[in-house]
Copies of this chain bind each other. A is one copy, B any other.
Amino acid sequence: MKPRHKGFTLWFTGLPSAGKSTLANLVAQEFRARGIGFEVLDGDVVRTHLCKGLGFSKEDRDENIRRIGFVCGMLSRHGVAAIAAAISPYRAIRDEVRAAIPHFVEIYVRASVETCTQRDVKGLYKKALAGEIKNFTGVSDPYEPPLNPELTVNTESESPAESAARIMSKLESLGYLEGTEAAYTAEEEARIHERLVRLGYLDS
């Protein structure tokens, strides 16, 4: 059960609606295409499995992040690419998780509160701004940006595909993609798929 590749943890941090989950899933597609074993630990999803009952106080947020970090560390020790997408607003806890995981790549997903508010389909920012939600990161709760992330992606000026490509390049330069090669990029695959559908070879 020895892994073929070095495991690592790819940690997305940023405001709600900054684009963390979108990027996590795009990168996961790239990993799939290269045959890299991965798991996505999405903050929202994980709250129903690992972190049921935890709220949004500083203590609960810290516990949430520690728990995600614990699982990511375990997975990456066994050659898995663990992808965490969680607001993880506090620098100290992110750094605590980093210290516990030998191969830790932090991606700061940057976007302004204004942009995030516009994107937010659930209208949570508006509710928070109206005082209806307490402890909402970026509005009524702090967000501490990383000081030395491995990479910052600016989702206001870059498209998701551009950001994902920059993340893959970073992983490549850090040596985490050695020995893996995608036949096609996710974008190319999507185009090929689309064409096959158009030609009637595939249903959808």
Contacts and interface: CB of A to CB of B under 8 A. Distances in A.
Interface stretch (A1-9, A83-91, A147-155, A189-197): A1-9
A38 to B, nearest CB: 8
Interface SS of A by simple majority: loop
Given A52-B63, A53-B53, A63-B53, A36 B1 contact: yes
Counting chain B CB atoms within 10 Å of each CB, which of A3, A7, A81 scores highest?
A3
Interface size class of A (residues with CB under 8 A): 20 to 34
A49 B70 contact: yes
A61 interface: no
Given A78-B79, A79-B78, A80-B78, A1 B37 contact: yes
Contacts of A180: 1
Contacts of A1: 3-5, 7, 35-38, 79-81, 180
Contacts of A4: 1-2, 4
Given A4-B2, A78-B80, A79-B3, A50 B70 contact: yes
Contacts of A78: 3, 37, 39, 75, 78-80
13 contacts: A1-B35, A1-B37, A2-B37, A3-B79, A4-B4, A49-B66, A49-B70, A50-B67, A50-B71, A53-B54, A53-B63, A74-B75, A75-B75
Interface of A: 1-5, 7, 35-39, 49-50, 52-54, 63, 66-67, 70-71, 74-75, 77-81, 180
